[in-house]
């Protein structure tokens, strides 16, 4: 249904017209949330058997038999040993970065990284150094200093150095200089 506004999005009114659009403002990229009469019975069976949702991230209590079945099918499709499927991008970043690095590790993070990556970096308890957005010379300088000098007080080698970037920066639309990083 078409909505219009005359006051810069403070109030909206329906025009009575319908318009076909693509919804890019949700996690429903594949259209699975649309009502489809053919799925109602199978949806009802799944809800009765598994519940509406897990109410938790997979890292905590949120993995079900259905998740594992999906992961097995995905890994078979991709031709890999195993994989993990996440239902939400924010949780993927914020809950998994702390599993990769921790105290005694260094994260080199692009200044325009998404809030989920920033939160995950902070939750990891690793030291975080920010480099200028997509400026590979700045990243290179900070990486060289980190490798040569190690941790600030002890000068021990970092346990791990992780470079955190996005492929396409969600707020700006810029693309990472991945070949240069590699």
Give per-residue burial for 68-85: e unless 16+ CB within 10 Å, then b: eeebeeeeeeeeeeeeee
Q: Is 75 inside a domain boundary? A: no
Contact 19, 36 (CB under 8 A): no
Res 91 pLDDT > 70: yes
Res 118 pLDDT > 80: yes
What does the radius of gyration of the chain's CA atoms come to, in whole angstroms? Answer: 22
Contact 146, 162 (CB under 8 A): no
More confident residue, 167 or 108: 108
Contact 164, 109 (CB under 8 A): yes
DSSP codes joined into one string, 92-146: HHHHHHHHH--TT-EEEEETT--HHHHHHHHHHT-EEEEE-TT-HHHHHHHHHHH
Give the CATH number, domain containing residue 156. 3.40.640.10
Res 157 pLDDT > 80: yes
Q: Is 69 inside a domain boundary? A: no
Q: Is 48 inside a domain boundary? A: no
Q: Is 31 inside a domain boundary? A: no
pLDDT at 113: 96
Q: Is 121 inside a domain boundary? A: yes
Q: Is 166 inside a domain boundary? A: yes
How many domains does the chain divide into?
Answer: 1
Q: Is 17 inside a domain boundary? A: no
Residues 6 or more apart from 132 whose CB is under 8 A from it? Answer: 111, 138
Q: Is 43 inside a domain boundary? A: no
More confident residue, 118 or 10: 118
Res 89 pLDDT > 70: yes
Q: For residue 126, give its domain range.
A: 89-180
What is the rounded CA–CA span in Å between residue 28 and residue 26?
A: 5
Residues 6 or more apart from 91 whose CB is under 8 A from it? Answer: 57, 116
């Amino acid at each position: 249904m078409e909505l219009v506004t005359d006051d810069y999005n403070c109030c909206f009114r329906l025009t009575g017209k319908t318009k076909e659009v693509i919804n890019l403002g949700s996690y429903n990229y594949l259209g699975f949330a649309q009502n489809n009469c053919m799925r109602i019975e199978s949806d009802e069976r799944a809800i009765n058997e598994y519940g509406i949702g897990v109410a938790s991230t997979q890292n905590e209590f949120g993995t079900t038999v259905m998740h594992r079945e999906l992961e097995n099918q995905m890994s078979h499709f991709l031709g890999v040993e195993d994989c993990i499927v996440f239902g939400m991008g924010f949780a993927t970043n914020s809950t998994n970065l702390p599993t990769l690095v921790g105290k005694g590790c260094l994260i080199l993070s692009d200044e325009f990284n998404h809030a989920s990556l920033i939160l995950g970096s902070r939750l990891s308890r690793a030291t975080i150094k920010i480099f200028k957005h997509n400026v590979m010379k700045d990243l290179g300088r900070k990486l060289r200093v980190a490798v040569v000098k190690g941790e600030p007080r002890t000068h021990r080698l970092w346990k791990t150095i992780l470079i955190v970037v996005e492929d396409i920066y969600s707020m700006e639309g810029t693309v990472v200089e991945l070949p240069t990083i590699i």
